[in-house]
Structure 1
Amino acid sequence: MNWKTFIKSYQSYLKIERGLSKNTIDNYTFDIERLCLFLEENAVDVSPVKISEETIQQFIYTISKEVNARSQARIISGLKSFFSYLIFEDYRSDNPMELIEAPRLGRKLPDTLSIQDIDALIEAIDLSKPEGERNRAMLETLYGCGLRVSELVNLKISDLFFDEGFIKITGKGNKQRFVPISNVTQKFILLYKDLVRNHLTINKGHEDTLFLNRRGRQLTRAMIFTIIKDLAVKINLNKSISPHTFRHSFATHLLENGADLRAIQLMLGHESITTTEIYVHLDRKHLTQIMNSFHPRK
């Protein structure tokens, strides 16, 4: 079996056994293909079953000059997963990544927007254009429900449970969760759905997709990035932002207003509470206010 055959088998395992999304599988695959390219460029003819720790160390040393520490750590993690799979399937008895350590990373705090920044971005949307109503509904949903961009573009009409005040989200690994949705966000979604979306010619297979492009197809993640970047330029927002910035801001604003960390974890769909704890980066002034308000000996 060659590398391509092993990679294909590994992709099936990630999809069927672990239930990972296409984007995650693509990222894992990219890390292995990068190793394959290194082997090809250096005329090293070796299979995944026979590759040694020394060869992989040479590869890691090479990429360390090309990528930052965070990307390097991600590649090492991806390769460890691949070789663990080969052991699981009895193709190898050892993991050549076992003694290879990823670079130490400081915990990166997410960028956030103020409530005023978010209001300004949404107010900058041109509602005279048909896509204006859609863009407003999308950004309100992205922020108001703390969604990942992939969750936003995959949102279905059948996932809207407005009478109960929830939307159903399919997150990483096809795990589903119900997220509360405010009346304001519901209103903007219904305005778009009833006044704009109803007039589109919808492509087959996209009948249940909530947010559509002008050709009646599901929007791409790249399109959401472009919409947000253009709005940031329009209001002269001198911050590097992405759709994920809205999700970070949602979590931060909830925490600052006294929301329970466990509740935020459930809304964001984090498997571990430690992932949610990254949002505990409030300033000293806010922590002092909490101390003064809630300490039993105030």
Structure 2
Amino acid sequence: MKWQHALKDYKHYLKIERGLSDNSIDNYVMDVQRLVSFLNKNSILTDPIAISSETIQEFIYQTAKEVNPRSQARMISGLKSFFNYLIFEDYRQDHPLELIETPKIGRKLPDTLSLEEIDLLINTIDLSKSEGTRNKAMLETLYSCGLRVSELTNLKLSDLFFDEGFIKVTGKGHKQRFVPVSGSCIKYINLYITEIRIRQAIVKGHEDFLFLNRRGKQLTRAMIFTIIKRLVVDSGLKKNISPHTFRHSFATHLLQNGADLRAIQQMLGHESITTTEIYMHLDKSDLSRILHQYHPRNH
């Protein structure tokens, strides 16, 4: 069985059987492709069925010199998934990563922004340019609805249910959920649609996508990253900010203001409550600060 054939079947399995998004599939496949590159570079002639634990251990040892523990742990997890698939399909009987442990890593708390920092970023947008109105609507949507960047780029006009106060979001594994949308966010989206978007020449096939680039096509994830990075520089904020920072801030601010964790889980589209519970760690640090500041025993 050749690697190319195995990867093709594996991608089909991830999409059809596990229902993963294209981005997740690309990440899983990239882990295996990195192993294949190592084999080619070192002229190791083996296939997915015959590759040994020793060869994979050598690959992981070499890779550990190039990546941090978190990236290494993710890569090992990706390889384990691939060989689990081979065993599931009866291509292999043994698991070459069975005795390989992932490196111990601490739980990374997500970066967040204060409301003042979010306002600073949004107010930095140059509204004299046509894309300024679009960018303001995008950032308001990221923060007001807690969307992933891929969910933002895939948002469609037909997903907007403003009369009911919701938007329909298509998340990981093509799972759909309805998320409440604030009045201010509705205002900025409508402003973009009626003032800017309506004047654009839209490329066929992109008519339903909400946020478009200058050429009338669906905005890419990379472009949204670039827009935010430029705003961070222009605003003078000294933080590492990405589109996901707005999602983290959305969840943290809801929790700090008394929102129920399960409600936050539903709005974020987390399959497991455990994923959402990371925000409890952020909130606990804030509670600790309040205790030390206001409790009489700490004065």
For residue 282 of structure 1, report the CA deviation from its aligned partner: 2.3
1:26 counterpart = 2:26: yes
Q: Distance in 1 between matches of 2:73 and 2:255?
A: 29
Which whole-Å deviations, capped at 9, do the CAs of 1:37-58 have from their partners, x for residues lacking one? 1111111101100111111111
Question: Which structure 2 residues correspond to residues 186-205 of structure 1 after superposition, within 5 A?
Answer: 186-205=186-205
Aligned to 1:2: 2
Question: Which structure 2 residues correspond to residues 129-140 of structure 1 after superposition, within 5 A?
Answer: 129-140=129-140
Secondary structure in 1 matching 2:283: coil
Give, as a single letter, the amino acid of the residue that structure 2 aligns with 1:130.
S
Question: Which structure 2 residues correspond to residues 217-232 of structure 1 after superposition, within 5 A?
Answer: 217-232=217-232
1:114 counterpart = 2:94: no
Aligned to 2:147: 147
Give, as a single letter, the amino acid of the residue that structure 1 aligns with 2:251.
A
Using structure 1 for the length normalisation, give the TM-score: 0.95
Cα RMSD between the aligned structures? Answer: 1.5
Secondary structure in 2 matching 1:28: helix
Using structure 2 for the length normalisation, give the TM-score: 0.95
1:282 counterpart = 2:248: no
Percent identical residues: 69
Question: Which structure 2 residues correspond to residues 88-127 of structure 1 after superposition, within 5 A?
Answer: 88-127=88-127
Secondary structure in 2 matching 1:168: strand
For residue 288 of structure 1, report the CA deviation from its aligned partner: 7.3
Question: Which structure 2 residues correspond to residues 1-298 of structure 1 after superposition, within 5 A?
Answer: 1-280=1-280, 281-282=282-283, 284=285, 286=287
Query: Which ranges in structure 1 are unaligned for 5 or more consecutive residues?
Result: 291-298
For residue 105 of structure 1, report the CA deviation from its aligned partner: 1.1
Q: Distance in 1 between matches of 2:180 and 2:79?
A: 38
Secondary structure in 2 matching 1:93: coil
Q: Distance in 1 between matches of 2:259 and 2:4?
A: 48
Q: Distance in 1 between matches of 2:97 and 2:241?
A: 35
Q: Distance in 2 between matches of 1:236 and 1:244?
A: 19
Instruction: State the number of aligned residues.
Output: 292
CA 1:284–1:208 in 2, change beyond 3 Å: closer, same or farther? Answer: closer
Give, as a single letter, the amino acid of the residue that structure 2 aligns with 1:260.
D
Give, as a single letter, the amino acid of the residue that structure 2 aligns with 1:44.
I
Q: Distance in 1 between matches of 2:229 and 2:223?
A: 10
Q: Distance in 2 between matches of 1:289 and 1:266?
A: 28
Give, as a single letter, the amino acid of the residue that structure 1 aligns with 2:160.
L
Which whole-Å deviations, capped at 9, do the CAs of 1:149-196 have from their partners, x for residues lacking one? 000000011111111111111111111111000111011000001111
For residue 97 of structure 1, report the CA deviation from its aligned partner: 1.1
Give, as a single letter, the amino acid of the residue that structure 1 aligns with 2:228.
I
For residue 285 of structure 1, report the CA deviation from its aligned partner: 5.3
Secondary structure in 2 matching 1:248: helix
Q: Distance in 2 between matches of 1:50 and 1:289?
A: 59
Which whole-Å deviations, capped at 9, do the CAs of 1:125-169 have from their partners, x for residues lacking one? 111111011000000000000000000000011111111111111
